[in-house]
Amino acid sequence: MSKQINVALIGNPNTGKTSVFNALTGLNQKVGNYPGITVEKKQGICKLPRGVKAHIIDLPGTYSLNASSLDENVVIELLLNKKDKDFPDIAVVVTDVENLKRNLLLFTQIKDLEIPTVLVINMADRMRYKGISLDIGYLEEKLNTKIALVSTRKNEGIDKLKQLISNYKEVSITPCIDTAQIDVDYFGNLKKAFPNQLLYKLWLVITQDVNFGKTDRNEIDPVADFKTKSKGDLKRLQQKETIKRYQFINNALDEGQTIDLSQAKDLRIKLDRILTHKVWGYVIFGVILLTIFQAIYDWSSVPMDLIDGLFASLSEWTKTQLPQGAFTNLLAEGIIPGLGGIVIFIPQIAFLFLFIAVLEESGYMSRVVFLMDRIMRRFGLSGKSIVPLISGTACAIPAIMATRNIESWKERLITILVTPFTTCSARLPVYLIIIALVIPEGRILGLSYQALTLMMLYLIGFGTAIISAYILNKILKIKSKTFFVVEMPNYKLPLFKNVALTVIEKTKSFVFGAGKIILAISIVLWFLASYGPGEEFNDAENIIKTEYVSENISSEDLQQKIASYKLEHSFIGIAGHAIEPAIRPLGYDWKIGIAIVCSFAAREVFVGTLATIYSVGSDQEETIKNRMAGEINPVLGGPLFTFASGISLLLFYAFAMQCMSTLAIVKKETNSWKWPILQLVIMTAFAYIVALIAFQFLK
């Protein structure tokens, strides 16, 4: 049986930690949450020499062990708790070659916990351009560690890092500085009071205002009472500690690092002047968004048509090749159309994640955060709120989790409440199918009407979130003030491997997450649509034949009318007709009503639901889009999906809180049912009113 060791990957934000993680683990990784908290946890397996496996945990980015947010607390909790199953056998601290001095502060703190710690100096390929040279041997001696000089872009140094990890027992655990020297008397008394404890661990417990979760309380709880100094005095000691650490780092770098500024080639300042300009910055961002939405439509049209036709053919093939019966009908009319309703959107969703990954990898997304801070301040939010609002375009759940790095409770609460207005990828299938049905395919200035409509929906969602934040800022009487700090990483060409892994992982997560729900709902819907109570359902064939006995209609049309009659009098038809009076003023029929109710489980279920309902009893090989286009409005006549009803439906989904999972995460983050219930009621009522006005005005 091969041995497994735990490896903690730690570093400041923007040091390329994710690139190192991807280089070590490849596709052998998974994303979850730390137990009991909603901070993302990335972990993976790396095969090392001599059959050893490394379980690698990519910890949240942190500047030091003086925590100021919950994701930084995660790092401290793990490093202080030897009984945690993930406690590292070795810590790998990732630094950026251009910010080595600042990055080493965290390294020296972790070393003082006497955990075997190796140093990764990343982005080594940039040393020549920045005029940087390093004496690795000297630095290893001064820092009491082993160093791997790594370039993930050129795939250099990864084998050396794997070798260092596998030989972790040979890595020195000697601390970098003697913490006791910052106040000899205080630390002497602390050591006497707790003679069996590591001194720096005791110091961290005293100075950190955090909840130490599952840390061994028998060890650290009494330390909290050892507060012979005031908070102000402890802060001053922390400052002395930081100064002492930087003195040590400066001494090491004076000899170990040489920077020749005459060699540095830097376009960053010039690019920043343009990309964060108070006018051109917004223009460029707008052009980038337009390009993204146009590409989503143009690039994905061919694969989408292929997938749509494939599922229609597969459904028809199932009916003709398998023996007739309930199971064949379930496959052909329930499961296959339901899954087809989500698989068809894989190309567009993959392209969306591709563009987001490229913007993040290149360093541009941080400029967007900085740029948008000017706007956010006016609406009672900080620049940090833009991160959840932008990441909400992928999914509202991790976006709401991302609010944990906002220190102010008021700003964090407002961000949580308005984030669901931003258009998430689950809304995308609904938008795309409706836009394809009701928006013509013409172009203006080279941009298609459909791409412009999609972009408008994104902008409407974002605009509503901002306006809602302004209103909430005026209504909520919570006093708070914070300062916005954002680091501008260097510009770099996106690493293909990182972008590809992000697209694969995010798309897979979307498809499998939504797929499970859609599969279950498709089966339930097929049953409800295929069976019904009473004589009207059971005797549908005779009723229709009697009604059309005098008319000369083809056998195919007759079967279609029987199927429609059965569907209308099935369990799902009865339920749909019950809610139809409430949704008819919006331009919807009972089938759309059922799809709206079902999509509360997950918004993307809307298309799968309609695909299943329209497929029941249908013998024609038609795509989902064609079936929806052929639907007739039972009240007004003519197509059901007109410009008026389509816009009404798009606006309803733009504003409604159609996501059970988002409500659950809001409850967890706010620790109250009050906020998610208010969110559900207000957003749904607002969506209904806007959709009603839109339909009545446009029809």
Neighbours of 365 (CB within 10 A): 19
End residue of a domain, out of 235, 263, 291: 263
Give the pLDDT confidence score for residue 538 in this predicted structure.
80
Residue 319, helix vs strand vs coil = helix
Number of domains the chain contains: 3
Contact 42, 9 (CB under 8 A): no
Residues 179 and 294 in one domain: no
Name 506's Cβ contacts closer than 8 Å, sequence gap at least 6.
353, 357, 394
Residues 243 and 289 in one domain: no
Question: Does residue 492 lie within any of the structural domains?
Answer: no
Domain range for residue 673? 498-698
Question: Does residue 250 lie within any of the structural domains?
Answer: yes
Give the pLDDT confidence score for residue 426 in this predicted structure.
74
**Tokens 């059309």 map to which residue?**
548
Nearest Cα neighbor of 8 from 94, 83, 67 is: 94
Quote the DSSP letter at residue 151: B
Nearest Cα neighbor of 223 from 187, 185, 193 is: 193
Residues 258 and 292 in one domain: no
Distance between CA atoms of residues 495 and 515, nearest Å: 30
End residue of a domain, out of 232, 263, 294: 263
Nearest Cα neighbor of 579 from 595, 563, 600, 555 is: 595
Neighbours of 326 (CB within 10 A): 11
Give the pLDDT confidence score for residue 681 in this predicted structure.
93
Angstrom distances, CA of residue 332 to CA of 2, 320, 325, 564: 46, 10, 11, 17
Angstrom distances, CA of residue 23 to CA of 60, 185, 400, 506, 606: 17, 47, 29, 18, 38
Distance between CA atoms of residues 160 and 92, nearest Å: 13
Residues 451 and 552 in one domain: no
Give the pLDDT confidence score for residue 266 in this predicted structure.
63
Give the pLDDT confidence score for residue 212 in this predicted structure.
46
Contact 266, 198 (CB under 8 A): no
Give the pLDDT confidence score for residue 188 in this predicted structure.
83
Distance between CA atoms of residues 683 and 464, nearest Å: 11
Residues 416 and 553 in one domain: no
Question: Does residue 678 lie within any of the structural domains?
Answer: yes
Give the pLDDT confidence score for residue 635 in this predicted structure.
64
* CATH number where 172 lies: 3.40.50.300
Task: Give the global pTM.
Answer: 0.61
Which ranges in 330-363 belong to alpha helices (H)? Answer: 336-343, 346-362
Per the prediction, the chain carries an average pLDDT of 79
Residues 178 and 91 in one domain: yes
Residue 512: Cβ-neighbour burial (10 angstroms; 0-12, 13-18, 19+):
exposed
Distance between CA atoms of residues 592 and 587, nearest Å: 10
Question: Does residue 482 lie within any of the structural domains?
Answer: no
Residues 619 and 531 in one domain: yes
Q: Which element (helix H / strand E) includes 694?
A: helix 674-698
Distance between CA atoms of residues 226 and 193, nearest Å: 9
Give the pLDDT confidence score for residue 623 in this predicted structure.
62
Question: Does residue 491 lie within any of the structural domains?
Answer: no
Mean pLDDT per 10-residue section of the chain, whose length is 699 residues: 81 84 75 45 82 87 76 81 87 90 91 91 82 87 90 86 89 86 84 82 76 45 59 83 90 84 64 85 84 75 81 83 82 76 73 80 79 76 72 70 72 88 81 86 80 88 90 79 61 80 76 68 76 80 78 72 77 84 88 80 71 60 66 70 90 86 78 88 94 91
- Phi-psi domain of 384 (left: phi exceeds 0; alpha: psi -120 through 50; beta: other): alpha
- pLDDT tens digit string along 657-686? 877 777 877 887 787 888 989 999 999 999
Residues 177 and 221 in one domain: yes
Give the pLDDT confidence score for residue 2 in this predicted structure.
55
Residues 402 and 550 in one domain: no
Residues 537 and 395 in one domain: no
Question: Does residue 565 lie within any of the structural domains?
Answer: yes
Give the pLDDT confidence score for residue 263 in this predicted structure.
53
Contact 603, 426 (CB under 8 A): yes
Residues 244 and 286 in one domain: no
**CB pairs under 8 A, 24+ apart, for 509-515?**
509/31, 510/349, 510/395, 510/425, 510/426, 511/342, 511/343, 511/346, 513/602, 514/342, 514/426, 514/602, 514/604, 514/605, 515/339, 515/342
- pLDDT tens digit string along 603-636? 767 776 777 666 655 555 556 667 777 777 666 6
Contact 561, 544 (CB under 8 A): yes
Tell me which amino acid residue 181 is.
Answer: Q
Give the pLDDT confidence score for residue 678 in this predicted structure.
92
639 forms beta bridges with 632
Residues 256 and 286 in one domain: no
Annotate 469-503 with b (16+ C-beta within 10 A) or e (fewer).
bbebbeeeeeeeeeebebeebebeebbeebbebbb
What is the percentage of the chain residues whose pLDDT exceeds 70? 83
Question: Does residue 311 lie within any of the structural domains?
Answer: yes
Give the pLDDT confidence score for residue 618 in this predicted structure.
55
Distance between CA atoms of residues 91 and 17, nearest Å: 13
Distance between CA atoms of residues 620 and 332, nearest Å: 11
Question: Does residue 82 lie within any of the structural domains?
Answer: yes
DSSP 199-255: HHHHHHHHH--S--TTS-HHHHGGGGG---S-HHHHHHHHHHHHHHHHHHHHHHHHH
DSSP 612-674: HHHHTT--S---HHHHHHT-B-TTT-SBSS-HHHHHHHHHHHHHS---HHHHHHHHHHHTSSH
